[in-house]
Structure 1
Amino acid sequence: MSKEVTAEGEHPPAKDYHDPPPAPLLGLGELKLWSFYRALIAEFVATLLFLYVTVATVIGYKAQSQYDQCGGVGILGIAWAFGGMIFILVYCAADVSGGHINPAVTLGLFVARKVSLLRAVLYMVAQCLGAICGVRIVKAIMKHQFNAFGGGANVVAPDYSKGTALGTEIVGTFVLVYTVFSATDPKRSARESHVPVRVHMHDPLLQKDRWSKAFVAPV
């Protein structure tokens, strides 16, 4: 195999991207930054809105299709609700907090040294609190339907074992985190990077809903 020959004294082309250094392990210095607290608020609000819209959509679909199997938005509508909300919220929060909106994503980024331990832990706390508040709002607005349909909680689909559901969740969450890493690769343009996340959330949810009712997110 031949190697590419360059003219004498000519330097190889410079990288057209910047690969950031690893994040500090603890990151205690971030406690002094207002941008850190703003990021926590963004994660809280984004996760609250995500759970509010998606859980309300699931409960609404179950209520409408209770007596009419063709009623409601259907599985496709639920998938669009999840994918559409992720697309909107990640696009809005990306420049503030990175738009994690999912403890699995935050954990993956911490393991890859993209965020510090302090940021990862507090992000997860903010996400869980946002999820709780989002579901509580749904319960306050749709109390009767919420109680009747178990809060829209997912269950393993009939004719599938818990092992199959667990495997599906593992694979689906892996694909989600892999997509996030691919979308946030420094070689990509920042504004182009959010599209793959939406595509991932819309397509696999259609398949995963058949087996494990598509949890994907720990919250």
Structure 2
Amino acid sequence: MAENREEDVRLGANKYRETQPIGTSAQTDKDYKEPPPAPLFEPGELKSWSFYRAGIAEFVATFLFLYITILTVMGVSRAPNKCASVGIQGIAWAFGGMIFALVYCTAGISGGHINPAVTFGLFLARKLSLTRAIFYMIMQCLGAICGAGVVKGFQVGPYQRLGGGANTVAHGYTKGAGLGAEIIGTFVLVYTVFSATDAKRSARDSHVPILAPLPIGFAVFLVHLATIPITGTGINPARSLGAAIIYNKDHAWDDHWVFWVGPFIGAALAAVYHQIVIRAIPFKSGRA
């Protein structure tokens, strides 16, 4: 009986051979077609349930993002010393990890932007219409306000005393330094988004499984490690706006323009770089 089973396995292995070798030679001749640019105005979207479903997904994702991350920031601020909490590294992991999880959950519904700067960059690259871009930004900001509001509702006193997770330019840094940190940090994020979601790259490297939320979340993590000491790291105008509105102290509004101008400039630069440099790379299927 055992001999018969071994014979069946041997015959099956010969009959169903591995047709694609593992490695670079596993690339296929998958055709690549540049997707057409999104129309500037698309009124028909307003009649589609998928349009509103995507907006709801952006609202919920940004709500959860603010809720988890502000609680983490406050936990670090409340601790008597950095060693008694998760510290800056923990804050960075909270932001990066939440982006990874939320982009993974919402990518198939709305594209998983969760950030007006990302939406703005994708709009400039003609990846979505102006109608959808404005709707996304509004829902992201509303979600951020509600997320920060829930945190304050849980603990009003500590929220006000610990800063409410609001972004400000740290003492010892100029507004110019804060603006530069926000521009470069957002460029890193939006550039990663373009690279991780590029259709040409997906077609060319179809043999390599790419989980787009992973590099995006990791980019957020790294940017936070670098710029938390400077601005607390905004790179997301909705996140900065939600915390500022609910915290609502003068010093939170003094530098608030930095957390809109910087991310939008960084996103625009990433979109231009993507259009001029990345899309100029010729497509090669690369079959060995």
The aligned residue for residue 101 of structure 1 is 114
* Residue 207, structure 1, aligned to residue 220, structure 2: no
Cα shift at 1:17? 3.5
Q: 2:176 aligns with which of 143, 149, 163?
A: 163
Partners of 1:133 and 1:45 in 2: CA distance: 9
Partners of 1:63 and 1:179 in 2: CA distance: 33
The aligned residue for residue 23 of structure 1 is 38
Query: Superposition pairs for residues 190-201 of structure 1, below 5 Å?
Result: 192-201=211-220
Structure 2-normalised TM-score? 0.68
Amino acid aligned to 1:86:
I
Per-residue CA deviation, residues 98-153 of structure 1 (Å, 9 max, x unaligned), is 00000000011111110001000000000000000000000001211101112121
Query: Superposition pairs for residues 28-67 of structure 1, below 5 Å?
Result: 28-64=43-79, 67=80
Partners of 1:18 and 1:46 in 2: CA distance: 31
Q: Secondary structure at the match of 1:164?
A: helix
* Residue 82, structure 1, aligned to residue 82, structure 2: no
The aligned residue for residue 178 of structure 1 is 191
Partners of 1:132 and 1:146 in 2: CA distance: 14
Cα shift at 1:32? 1.6
Partners of 2:29 and 2:45 in 1: CA distance: 32
What stretches of structure 1 of length at least 5 have no aligned partner? 1-12
C-alpha RMSD of the superposition: 1.6
Partners of 1:76 and 1:17 in 2: CA distance: 40
Q: Is the 8 A contact 2:169 2:232 kept in 1?
A: yes
Structure 1-normalised TM-score? 0.89
Partners of 1:159 and 1:210 in 2: CA distance: 10
What stretches of structure 2 of length at least 5 have no aligned partner? 1-27, 239-288
Cα shift at 1:68? 2.9
Partners of 2:222 and 2:141 in 1: CA distance: 25
Mean alpha-carbon deviation: is it higher for 122-131 or for 55-64? 55-64
Q: Secondary structure at the match of 1:70?
A: helix
Amino acid aligned to 1:165:
G
Q: Is the 8 A contact 2:173 2:230 kept in 1?
A: yes
Identity across aligned pairs (percent)? Answer: 58
Cα shift at 1:155? 2.3
The aligned residue for residue 125 of structure 2 is 112
| Structure with bigger gyration radius | 2
* Residue 139, structure 1, aligned to residue 152, structure 2: yes
Cα shift at 1:14? 5.4
Amino acid aligned to 1:200:
A
Structure 1 or 2: more helix by fraction: 2
Mean alpha-carbon deviation: is it higher for 142-151 or for 82-91? 142-151
Q: Secondary structure at the match of 2:109?
A: helix
Q: Secondary structure at the match of 1:197?
A: helix
Q: Secondary structure at the match of 2:218?
A: helix
The aligned residue for residue 152 of structure 1 is 165
Q: Is the 8 A contact 2:70 2:148 kept in 1?
A: yes
Q: Secondary structure at the match of 1:151?
A: coil
Cα shift at 1:16? 3.5
